[in-house]
């Protein structure tokens, strides 16, 4: 009954979902990803994995994608005979995934419609699916479980705010969590929260935060100078970067920057909103 209501809501949202994504891609002059979001893949992409053993890693956006890099490298080293598929939801996540060149195939995760996820699962035929952080898509997880494909949650986390929301709907999430083969959580608190929501304790493990496994690459003075020259920034300027800002955070950043400017010296502000559509 619960799943029926969920799918009914998805069905009612379908026209709006299609219209939104179609006009969004048209307004940006980009190729629509709608076919992929409904389980279709170009023949050239399918050819890369056809007949091969596949491990599928899903990372919703940029942060999760970067956190998946150590995992992808480890999988490549341990299972060199497998093809690695990396899926995303956001355009920015997809861009980072493609640039990393760590996966054999980068795709968009289908919308959580049963027909879409089943269609893509039949084409990709993964032996294992790894969901980064807390990506709980009921139809996707259930379809994989129905095909006897193990699904793992990696680098899982549940914030205080998310925990209250998940707990309120634990009756909905409990059966989904019980279909996961293993839940690897960042901390003991995360593990306790996911169990409280409904995960089986025997499937929950504390494995730490994979983002700490991503090596930090410090720019050399030569690289810094080259970047400043590329963007027309004076070599002696102090560069103040506000990255991944959300709506409402830009104003205090700009105010702080103006105070720095009034103090004297060459000050340059680089403002990088989290969502590209907010950039001028």
Report, as residue numbers or ranges, the catalytic residues: 64
The HSE-up count of residue 258 (CA atoms within 13 Å, CB side) is 6
Pairing of β 238-245 and β 267-273:
parallel
The HSE-up count of residue 39 (CA atoms within 13 Å, CB side) is 15
Dihedral angle computed from the Cα positions of residues 130, 131, 136 and 141, in that order, rounded to the nearest 10 degrees: -20
Q: How many CB atoms are located within 10 Å of the residue 166 CB?
A: 22
Q: How many CB atoms are located within 10 Å of the residue 39 CB?
A: 19
* CB contact at 8 A, 245 and 274: yes
């Amino acid at each position: 009954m619960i799943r029926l209501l969920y799918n009914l809501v998805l069905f009612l949202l379908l026209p709006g979902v299609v219209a939104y994504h179609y006009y969004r891609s048209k307004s940006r002059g980009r190729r629509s990803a709608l076919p992929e979001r409904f389980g279709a893949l170009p023949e050239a992409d399918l050819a890369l994995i056809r007949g091969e053993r596949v491990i599928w890693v899903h990372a919703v956006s940029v942060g999760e994608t970067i956190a998946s890099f150590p995992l992808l490298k480890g999988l490549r080293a341990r299972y060199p005979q497998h093809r690695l598929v990396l899926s995303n939801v956001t355009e920015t996540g997809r861009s980072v995934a493609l640039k990393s060149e760590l996966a054999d195939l980068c795709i968009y995760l289908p919308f959580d419609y049963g027909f879409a996820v089943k269609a893509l699962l039949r084409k990709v035929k993964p032996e294992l699916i790894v969901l980064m952080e807390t990506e709980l898509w009921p139809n996707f997880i259930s379809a994989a479980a129905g095909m006897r494909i193990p699904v793992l949650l990696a680098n899982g986390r549940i914030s205080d705010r998310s925990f209250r929301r998940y707990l309120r709907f634990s009756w909905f999430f409990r059966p989904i969590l019980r279909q996961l083969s293993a839940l690897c959580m960042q901390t003991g608190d995360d593990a306790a929260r996911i169990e409280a929501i409904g995960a089986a304790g025997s499937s929950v493990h504390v494995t730490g935060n994979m983002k700490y496994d991503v090596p930090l690459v410090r720019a050399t003075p030569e690289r810094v100078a080259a970047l400043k020259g590329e963007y027309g920034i004076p070599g002696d300027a102090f560069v103040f970067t506000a990255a991944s800002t959300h709506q409402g955070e830009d104003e205090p950043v700009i105010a702080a920057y103006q105070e720095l400017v009034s103090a004297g010296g060459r000050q340059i502000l680089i403002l990088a909103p989290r969502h590209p559509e907010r950039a001028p």
